Amino acid sequence: MVSSNRLTKLLLYVFTGMVAVYLLLPLLMIVMTSVGSGSASKFPPEGFTLKWYANLAEQTQFLHAFKNSLIASTGAVLLALVTGTLASLAIVQYPFRGSGLLRAFFVSPMVMPKITLGIAYLILFSKMHIAGGLFALILGEAVIVLPFVLTIVGSALANLQPVYREAAADMGASPIRIFFTITLPQLKLSLLLSGSIAFVFTFDQVEAALLLLRQDSYTLPIQLFLYMEKWQDPTIAVVSVVLITFALVLFLLIRLILRSLTGMEGMLGGRKKQRRS
């Protein structure tokens, strides 16, 4: 029995290691390609050099496109968080006839083809005379990531205990004050998680951005495609390495925030137990 358990653990470790290698190998290839001395992206590289990192510093369009991506993603996430939280609050805490149908309607962009949404946004925003800029992209991307916020925040709202809201209402607090002082602090983890997922999703969004934006408002994925149409050098791999580093820093930052929030909740929970005892 003991040998069987050891064999099972060994097989699990081997399988986990194979999966990790499979996931890390493409990233390693990108890093190796970014320092290749050849004039074209090639693996394994013929030699090693950092000249392509210097070449990236000369490509100012990438920095401008990165700023546009940050602005569009941040704006879309904030808009989706506000609208998604309010919609979840209405559907979960104040249910009404047809609320399930409304929820399904809000979640529908998750299953719709993104190119179809992009064409629809192009027609709509052209009629509104706002197509071509980042504001139109923010509106379009907010709708695309709204299902993530609605699902995660809605699940968190459904699991909240109504005791604190009822106690605050009995003490004369208004619904708005109850939301900001009782409900919203309990949703901070779900808001952070849904916002993080939505940010990553919108940052790589291509279909709607390709149809809606003018040349001076292009985001980073579009500029990468345009660069690859003219050049096939390792500069693209360098940009990928920078984005991987950015994603790792963002992941570590989110993890630190989650640790601080869960630690704070644990302290508050411990104090509440002490007071009750």
Predicted TM-score of the model (pTM): 0.81
What is the Cα–Cα distance from 160 to 188, expressed in whole angstroms? 12
Query: Average of pLDDT values for 99-110?
Result: 87
| Higher pLDDT pick, 232 / 190 | 190
In order of 58, 147, 171, 226, 263, the CA distances from 255 in angstroms are: 34, 23, 37, 34, 12
**Residues 141-157: pLDDT tens digits?**
999 999 999 999 999 98
**Residues 155-177: pLDDT tens digits?**
998 888 888 888 888 888 888 88
pLDDT of 43 > 80? The answer is no
So what's the pLDDT on residue 261? 67
| Higher pLDDT pick, 48 / 188 | 188
pLDDT of 274 > 70? The answer is no
CATH number of this structure's domain 60-264, picked from the four choices 1.10.3720.10, 1.10.10.10, 1.10.510.10, 3.40.50.720:
1.10.3720.10
Query: Average of pLDDT values for 200-214?
Result: 86
Among candidate residues 220, 210, 228, the one with its CA nearest the CA of residue 63:
220
Burial class (CB in 10 A: 0-12, 13-18, 19+), 146: buried
What is the Cα–Cα distance from 253 to 80, expressed in whole angstroms? 21
So what's the pLDDT on residue 150? 93
pLDDT of 272 > 50? The answer is no
pLDDT > 70 in the chain, percent = 91
Q: Name 55's Cβ contacts closer than 8 Å, sequence gap at least 6.
A: 233, 235, 238
